[in-house]
Structure 1
Amino acid sequence: MKRTHLPLNGLRVLDAAARHLSFTRAADELAVTPAAVGQQIRALEDLLGVVLFRRTSKGLELTDEAISGLDSIREGFLRFEEGVQAMQAGQSSHVYTIACPRDFFSAWLSPRLAAFRAGNPQMRFALVGGDADVDFTEANLDLAVRWAEGPGDLEGVALGAPLMVTVTAPDAPADGPWIGWPGDPAPGGALTGGSDVGFSVGDAGTAISAARAGLGRAHVPYQLAQPAIETGRIIALGDPVPSRRGYWLVAPPPQWRQKKVKALVVALAE
């Protein structure tokens, strides 16, 4: 018999009925009706081609055929339970594996993970690169932070409002050359067509560092620039403006439902 065709529901009913030697008590355990138990047993008997129970003056009795297979069936259900427990073990793990852009980790995520760990000192974190194409299964990820327009096919929550701001050094001219980065490679947009990009870097964090060094002005996520703006290391050229993209905390549904992941999502979303 193929494994995919194993009558698992019928075998589960057989186990309960065999332990109680009563369809009624088996029904109570399984939260079904006695009639449903009887139907499952009859269907299993038809499938196997054997009689499993006999009614006698003393009550319900197992046949020799049923007795011969019960130990193996019960051992099989025990192994199923062990397998389920093994798969669920990750939910109680104290290690989070998170994919995150390194500039976002430095400016925004790291202090919040530190605050979370202060209340959960047993927790450990492993950070991997935040490439949008990183595969959750291959990288064994719990969560990922992505610069995107939304969660896509994943479960997700926005990490703050999607805002952009133009920044430069305090002593730099407000019309200095633009600093481009992959999220905004031609920040001059319609005004300059991007022709005034004098410096190109690999990420928004490096763009902020370049602006702080006086290399020009950069149009970057407000979340990354806010700490440097508040300390006066850079200045904002105007107010933050809405952006289609923002930072999203995402995961596939199985990871998203894990207890440990839910706890961290709540902490970061606050």
Structure 2
Amino acid sequence: MKRTHLPLNGMRVFDAAARHLSFTRAADELAVTPAAVGQQIRALEDTLGVVLFRRTTRGLELTPEAEGGLSALRDGFLQFEEAVRAMQAGQSSKSLTIAAPRDVVQKWLMPRLAAIAAADGDLRFVLLTTDDGVDFAQANLDLAIRWGDGPGEHEGEAIESEGLVTVAASADAPDIAIGWTGAAEDGAPAIRVADAGLAIDAAIAGLGRAIVPELLAAADIAAGRLVAIGDARPSREGYWLVAPLPQWRQKKVRTLVEILTR
């Protein structure tokens, strides 16, 4: 069924004028001029095809038509307020749904979320792994991590990193190239795996050397499972925390982004 267009601004003005039985006092409440109130009331009367107020020697009076609809109108405004509170309640929830590539979740994100959750026992995380485009509406996501040279069509903030680093199990590891899907490579690697995380694991196993995001290799380097061969080099691409503007503005998302980008 087609919904009737509702002149909500005019009805809000009508509600104020009906409570005060005065265009002047309604104007004060709404921070507009009495003339603007009068214009809104006349426009509403034209739209509805009814007269809402009568002027008498004692001031304004509501017509029977106005009195007949006023109670339902005020109930409706209360329902609007309930709807707004319900929609805003999600901003104060402690649950966040995050999508990221599998290797980012394993090598970088999960240890950080564990530390964040340990500091706030009420936090709840839902983690989705994805290597393709992220549909925020379909997956009901709050935040995503993507590899690229910017946030794309969404709002975003870069995760600070040294760029790309060559890693191996030891400095004398065999000079066999381990490639991964999505990496920029010179020539065909001897070994190819699905993502940078598996390339790191292959290097730890002693299969060769891999050029991977320093962000993902840092923990294994610090733990001594890997060594960096040479210095890290800057990369045009990197990992970004991204979300559409409505999700990006949520307090819980902004707080998480600030923690993850420290």
User: Does TM, normalized by the shorter one, top 0.5?
Assistant: yes
Separation in 1, partners of 2:150, 2:165 = 20
- Contact 2:98–2:142 at 8 Å: present in 1 too? yes
Structure 2 gaps of 5+ residues are none
* Residue in 2 that maps onto 1:119: 119
Note if 1:220 corresponds to 2:219. Answer: no
- Tell me, what secondary structure is at the counterpart of 2:51? coil
Q: Judge which range, 110-119 or 219-228, deviates more.
A: 110-119
Correspondent of 1:203 among 195, 207, 210:
195
* Residue in 2 that maps onto 1:55: 55
- Contact 2:155–2:245 at 8 Å: present in 1 too? yes
Structure 1 gaps of 5+ residues are none
Superposition pairs of residues 243-258 of structure 1, within 5 angstroms: 243-258=235-250
Separation in 1, partners of 2:171, 2:239 = 30
* Residue in 2 that maps onto 1:177: 176
Separation in 2, partners of 1:162, 1:173 = 23
Separation in 2, partners of 1:121, 1:102 = 25
- Tell me, what secondary structure is at the counterpart of 1:79? helix
Identity fraction in percent: 64
- Contact 1:143–1:249 at 8 Å: present in 2 too? yes
- Contact 1:162–1:247 at 8 Å: present in 2 too? no
Please, what TM-score do these two structures have when normalized by structure 2?
A: 0.94
Report the residue type matching 1:183 in the other structure. Answer: G
Report the residue type matching 2:230 in the other structure. Answer: G
> How far is the alpha carbon of 1:102 from its aligned partner?
2.4
Report the residue type matching 2:239 in the other structure. Answer: Y
Question: RMSD across aligned C-alpha pairs, in angstroms?
Answer: 1.8
Cα deviation digits, residues 140-167 of structure 1 (max 9, x gap)? 1110011111100101100113600111
CA shift in 2, pair 1:173/1:114, >3 Å? closer
> How far is the alpha carbon of 1:85 from its aligned partner?
2.0
Separation in 2, partners of 1:117, 1:60 = 60
> How far is the alpha carbon of 1:89 from its aligned partner?
2.1
Superposition pairs of residues 68-217 of structure 1, within 5 angstroms: 68-161=68-161, 163-170=163-170, 172-173=172-173, 176-184=175-183, 187=185, 189=186, 193-194=187-188, 197-217=189-209
- Tell me, what secondary structure is at the counterpart of 1:36? helix
- Contact 2:157–2:240 at 8 Å: present in 1 too? yes
CA shift in 2, pair 1:122/1:49, >3 Å? same
Q: Judge which range, 107-116 or 23-32, deviates more.
A: 107-116
- Contact 1:97–1:140 at 8 Å: present in 2 too? yes
Separation in 2, partners of 1:181, 1:2 = 53
Note if 1:229 corresponds to 2:221. Answer: yes
Separation in 2, partners of 1:46, 1:173 = 84
Runs of 4+ in structure 1 deviating by more than 6 angstroms, as ranges, are none
Cα deviation digits, residues 41-63 of structure 1 (max 9, x gap)? 01111222221111212121111
User: How many pairs are equivalent?
Assistant: 262
CA shift in 2, pair 1:104/1:183, >3 Å? same
CA shift in 2, pair 1:87/1:162, >3 Å? farther
